[in-house]
Structure 1
Amino acid sequence: MSKRNRSQPATFAAMVAAVPREPEPDEDYGTIVDPMTARAFTDAEGHHWVLSRGPLDPRRAKRMATAADEMALSGPDHHDEATNRWLPAFLPRADRLAAWQEVAQLYGADGMLSHVAYEFTSEDGRVLLYIQTFC
């Protein structure tokens, strides 16, 4: 019987564990994590929002466009470069239905542009309809 070389991993699991991992991106590199990946975010006023469900059925998203306490659409203009944070721009209540009607045409589409809605809740019980755009 030969002796094993103790400097090499003995099992596949040990070999995988020994592989150096790439560092996680952090704010020093300018990476911003979107609300769905982080499952939460803090808005510009300091209110903490937590992902409660989603992607939403389009019928529920349509109802929430008028019933939710807040509504926001994703977009590059919502990234605050000074703090490297994602800050949603909440839509005025009067603009929500029109925004939903525009989004609904490509809700869950397989093409170049698609929209998906998520529901967030705040620590004080408010509800946010957040619509993410994919391109």
Structure 2
Amino acid sequence: MPNKPRRRSGGFAEVLAALPPQEEHEPLEVRNPIGSGGFLDGAGCYWRLARGPVDRRLARRLAAGADELTLGLRGRRHEAFPDHFVPVLLAPEERPAAWHAACAEDHRAYEFRAADGRTLLYLDVSC
């Protein structure tokens, strides 16, 4: 005669209620766009790693001619995904100062591309 399953007292909700409270915190997921091969910007555009690190001459051309520029993981939370931290794209007037600041520090430059063909220069100044 097969064993009948035992009926347990209490349900799943009671088990959860008995667990000690956990500390409240806001998770922050920082993904390295270079290691993961791309990132989602604040506007919802996915940028795929195209090549890099690139040499200084190409990085200088991209700093002047790329559609977008960012300084690595200096960024903010993504509005649509609040637990993700994304690089902030710099305004055109901020680009010359950012390029000079990156050149003053140890940095690597990477080229990213969007599906619509736009290019982005990613200056990793954390290396």
Report the TM-score, using the length of structure 2 for normalisation. Answer: 0.69
Of 107, 122, 127, the residue aligned with 1:115 is 107
Q: Which runs of 5+ in 1 are unaligned?
A: 1-27, 107-113
Q: State how far apart, in whole Å, the 1-side matches of 2:27 and 2:91 are.
A: 34
Specify the alignment match of 2:121 in structure 1.
129
Q: Select the structure that is richer in strand.
A: 2
Specify the alignment match of 1:34 in structure 2.
32
Residue 34 of structure 1 contacts residue 86 of structure 1 at CA under 8 Å; is this kept in 2? no
- 1:45 counterpart letter in structure 2: A
* 1:91-113 CA-partner distances (Å, limit 9, x unpaired): 1112212211121122xxxxxxx
> Offset of 1:67 from its aligned partner?
0.2
Specify the alignment match of 1:96 in structure 2.
95
> Offset of 1:48 from its aligned partner?
1.0
SS in 1 for 2:54: coil
Specify the alignment match of 1:66 in structure 2.
64
Report the TM-score, using the length of structure 1 for normalisation. Answer: 0.65
Q: State how far apart, in whole Å, the 2-side matches of 1:73 and 1:123 are.
A: 21
Shift of the 90–30 alpha-carbon distance from structure 1 to 2, 3 Å rule, reads closer
Number of aligned residue pairs: give it. Answer: 101
- 1:83 counterpart letter in structure 2: P
SS in 2 for 1:98: helix
Residue 54 of structure 1 contacts residue 117 of structure 1 at CA under 8 Å; is this kept in 2? yes
Tell me, yes or no, if structure 1 residue 105 matches structure 2 residue 92.
no
- 2:96 counterpart letter in structure 1: L
* 1:15-61 CA-partner distances (Å, limit 9, x unpaired): xxxxxxxxxxxxx9754221011101111111111000011111111
> Offset of 1:129 from its aligned partner?
0.3
Compute the RMSD of aligned alpha carbons: 2.3
Identity of aligned residues (%): 37
